[in-house]
Amino acid sequence: MADVVNIYVPSDTTARSVGADAVADAVSRAAAERGVAATLVRNGSRGLYWLEPMLEVVVGGVRHAYGPITVGDVRSLFEANFLTGGAHEKALGPTEKIAYLAQQSRLTFARVGIADPLSLEDYRAQRGYRGLEAALELSGQAIVDAVKESGLRGRGGAGFPTGIKWQTVLDAAGGQKYVVCNADEGDSGTFADRMLMESDPFVLIEGMTIAGLAVGATRGYVYLRAEYPLAIETMRSAIDRAQRAGFLGDDVRGSGRAFQLEVREAAGAYICGEETSLLESLEGKRGMVRYRPPLPAVKGLFGAPTIVNNVTTLASVPVIFEKGPEFYRDYGSGRSRGTLTVQLAGNIKRGGLVEVGFGLSLRRLLEDFGGGTFSGRPIRAVQAGGPLGAYVHPSQFDTALDYEAFAAIGAMIGHGGLVVFDDTVDMAQQARFAMEFCAIESCGKCTPCRIGAVRGVEVIDKILNGMDEKANLELLEDLCGTMVDGSLCALGGMAPFPVLSVLNHFPEDLRAR
Amino acid sequence: MSESAEEQQATAARKIASAHVGTPGGLLPVLHEIQDRFGFISDSAVGAVAAELNVSRAEVHGVLTFYHLFRRSPPGKRTIYLCRAEACQAMGARELERHVKDKLAIDFHETTQDRRFSLEPIYCLGNCACSPAIMIDNAVHGRVTTSRFDELLNDG
């Protein structure tokens, strides 16, 4: 009898959204019909999304990929003996040699897409939980020092040094402290958090556990958006398994230290990605932004000192302890250390997840990785950093991916999403949408955001309708200034950035029609 | 909704809420659980939850109406969430939105007359490398052209 072989068919949301479940069924049926002894493994996705559904088989100890596969391709794959690496028009060769993947530095996403996301055995076989084992030997202060030394900065968007935030929580007086993971990934063009939670949930659990040990927090929450049903299910299931294996609970790995973790489902409010609003929501209230100070690190969840970090920030912590802070810090450029998970999205030929050290130019990402637009037309604009990020003009594409370099051109890296638009885009509509979105999602606490966004839409409509164009353009700019300077949080404070970028770089579109 | 259905939801809501009396910040989990069971949250449930958690009805109402994904009225058999955010816009979401509204003959937040479909806007499903995206109940679909949308309707 032949050896049983594994056939990997991805199971993350995007792979499924383009038919991975139907392909998996077809593969199972075809294998059974042919009497092939094969095990179907539903791994996470590698994030080469334009190739999904991307099947993999192991040939001579090396993973080989085929994609994108439709149900109609399955028969011919078997006929081509793909289980032994047979030639086929959809053959991509050894997975790790695909240029898109080979040119990345996958640290945080090292395990993503390789194995069954919910197999704790696979996670440990791939060096999982080594970071926690190392951290369990250290004092809280030593853990915080290592994070500081790694240079890790918050990946949610603000880029605040993680170690300094943790130090504040460690130093804060108080009995109960909390670790909160912000998994309310609401920015359009971003999916790194979702991918990580669906494809390697244990790394987030491990990172949060280390955070808990660092500051003496015994309880953690993952605030996860309701728009991600599969991520919710995967995280809950992974937490349950970690708990049963003694990696969570009252006595983490026999250390005598407790860390309890729970997923809390959000309910579709973009503002709850703002950390103080998120904390209000976790407390069971309307997600109204809080004034600060006090910072959440001092007075956060239920008034207690709280670490609030993004998914990819917390998931970057285990590798720092597994391989050492200097290993992590050696990636990157300037004050932006380590790697960034860029997400290529929108009208892009090769959309997907690209984890690279900071410092690569935007052009290399869009052209070398992305391959230009999906439509084949020229790129006209790229919105970087989500709905509150500027539209970057092609003349700025040589900017290096680096927090400071982006800030210098009035743009932001944010959570690493790049949304590409071709030359059919109407930039006036994009500017209008920025204001419309802000109006829909405003929590309503401060006037510049609540009223300003509504007025913003009206003023843009007046301009497009040819009503006092010049005066209204001035008014729009003035309104943007008021919102930027006067809003309580980043929603109202940054929603004008895409609008201003249109005014500055695409003024020809913001005219009477 | 008949009176007995109202009562039924109130009874269930009371039970769900009482199980969460000790849960810190438990109001959102309670509302989710009610909506998962009934598809929406009725007035009777609001009263029951308020009584059980010892907060005012206004407080429950305030939380309920703050969040886009909580419903106050029964949805159709299936709910279609159409992504309106930028990555999907870059791939034709505005055209898709017009097509979907025409095809179903409803606007956002409405339900078809035969009660088969409700239509809701959504701002990002995290499927931005394969835009435009929609979610039907819990299943996300990528690269949804107008013809693909029509097929998906017929499948359901």
> Digits of tens for pLDDT over chain B (156 positions)?
556 888 999 999 999 999 999 999 999 999 999 999 999 999 999 999 999 999 999 999 999 999 999 999 999 999 999 999 999 999 999 999 999 999 999 999 999 999 999 999 999 999 999 999 999 999 999 999 999 999 999 886
- CA angle (A278 as vertex; A112, A345 as ends), nearest 5: 40
Query: What amino acid is encoded at A84 in this protein?
Result: T
Q: A333-360: per-residue pLDDT in tens?
A: 788 888 899 999 999 999 999 999 989 9
What confidence tier does A3 reach under pLDDT thresholds 50, 70, 90? low
**Interface contact flag, A437 B139, Cβ < 8 Å:** no
Question: For the domain B78-155, what is the CATH code?
Answer: 3.40.30.10
Closest in A228, A287, A383 to B86, CB measured:
A383
Q: With 90 as the cut, is the pLDDT of residue A159 above it? A: no
CB atoms closer than 10 angstroms to residue A457? 18
Is a pLDDT exceeding 90 seen at residue A508?
yes
In this prediction, residues A464-480 reach a mean pLDDT of: 97
Amino acid A69: pLDDT: 98
B113: distance to nearest CA of chain A, Å?
Answer: 26
Distances A372 to A343, A380, A382 between C-alpha atoms, Å: 14, 11, 11
As a whole number of angstroms, the distance between CA A449 and CA A460 comes to: 16
What is the reported pLDDT for B1? 53
- What's the pLDDT at A1? 42
Q: Whose CA is closest to B125, among B93, B77, B82?
A: B82
To the nearest whole Å, the CA of B120 is away from the closest chain A CA by: 12
pLDDT at A200: 98
How much of chain A, in percent, has pLDDT values that exceed 90? 94
What local confidence, expressed as pLDDT, does residue A85 receive? 92
Q: Which of A190, A227, A387 sits opposite B122 (nearest CB)?
A: A227
Rounded mean pLDDT, A402-414: 91
Element at A493 (helix H, strand E): helix A490-494
Residues ≥6 apart with Cβ < 8 Å to B154:
none
**Contacts with A269 from chain B: Cβ below 8 Å:** 66-68
The reply to whether residue A264 touches residue B28, judged by beta carbons under 8 angstroms, is yes
Query: Is A306 in a helix, a strand, or coil?
Result: strand
Q: Decide if A227 and B126 are in contact by the 8 Å CB cutoff.
A: yes
A478 Cβ partners below 8 Å, 6+ apart? none
A434 to chain B, minimum CA–CA distance in Å? 9
Distances (CA, A) of B108 to A391, B49, B84: 28, 28, 11
Which chain A positions have a beta carbon within 8 Å of B143's beta carbon?
17-18
Q: Which CATH number fits domain A331-422: 3.40.190.10, 1.20.1050.140, 3.50.50.60, 3.10.20.600?
A: 3.10.20.600
Average pLDDT of the segment spanning A234-255: 98
A30 vs A77: CA distance, rounded Å: 10
Region A73-83: mean pLDDT is 97
Q: Which of A12, A17, A281, A440 to mutate to test the interface with B (most CBs of B within 10 A)?
A: A17
Query: What span, in angstroms and rounded, lies between the C-alpha atoms of A148 and B153?
Result: 52
CATH entry 3.40.50.11540 includes domain A120-328: yes
The dihedral over CA atoms of B111, B117, B120, B125, expressed in degrees to the nearest 10, equals 170
Q: Which of chain A's residues have a Cβ under 8 Å away from the Cβ of B88?
A: 188, 346
Residue B71 Cα, gap to closest chain A Cα (Å): 10
Q: Hey, what CATH class is A5-102 in?
A: alpha beta
Which residues have CB under 8 Å from B49's CB, separation 6+?
A: B13, B14, B16, B17, B27, B30, B31, B34, B60
What ranges do the domains of chain B cover?
Answer: 3-66, 78-155
Residues of B in contact with A283 (CB under 8 A): 24-25
Distance CA A287, CA A285 (A): 6
CA-CA distance, B20 to A152, in Å (whole number)? 37
- B interface test, pick of A46, A227, A450 with most B CB neighbours within 10 Å: A227
User: Would the CB atoms of A191 and B69 count as touching at under 8 Å?
Assistant: no
d(CA A496, CA A483): 7
Characterise B13 by phi-psi region: left (phi > 0), alpha (psi -120 to 50), beta (else): alpha
CB contacts < 8 Å between A and B, how many? 158
In angstroms, the CA A382 to CA B93 distance is 17
A427-509 folds as: de novo design (two linked rop proteins) (1.20.1440)
- Find the Cα–Cα–Cα–Cα dihedral A391, A394, A400, A402, rounded to 10°: 0
User: Which of A185-194, A223-232, A326-335, A487-496 is least confident?
Assistant: A326-335
Q: How far apart are CA A96 and CA A79, in angstroms?
A: 25
Give the sheet arrangement for strand A62-66, strand by strand: A38-41, A5-8, A55-59, A62-66, A91-94
Return the domain boundaries, chain A.
5-102, 120-328, 331-422, 427-509
User: Does the distance separating the beta carbons of A186 and B123 come in below 8 Å?
Assistant: yes
Stated as kind and residue range, the H or E segment containing A356 is: strand A352-357
Which residue from A111, A120, A169 is spatially nearest to A140, judged by alpha carbons? A169
Rounded to the nearest angstrom, the minimum Cα separation between A440 and chain B is 10
Between chains, do A387 and B70 touch, taking CB under 8 Å as contact? no
A205: alpha, beta or left? (left if phi > 0; alpha if psi -120 to 50)? alpha
Which residues does chain B have within 8 Å of residue A227's beta carbon, measured at their own beta carbons? 69, 81, 122, 124-126, 135
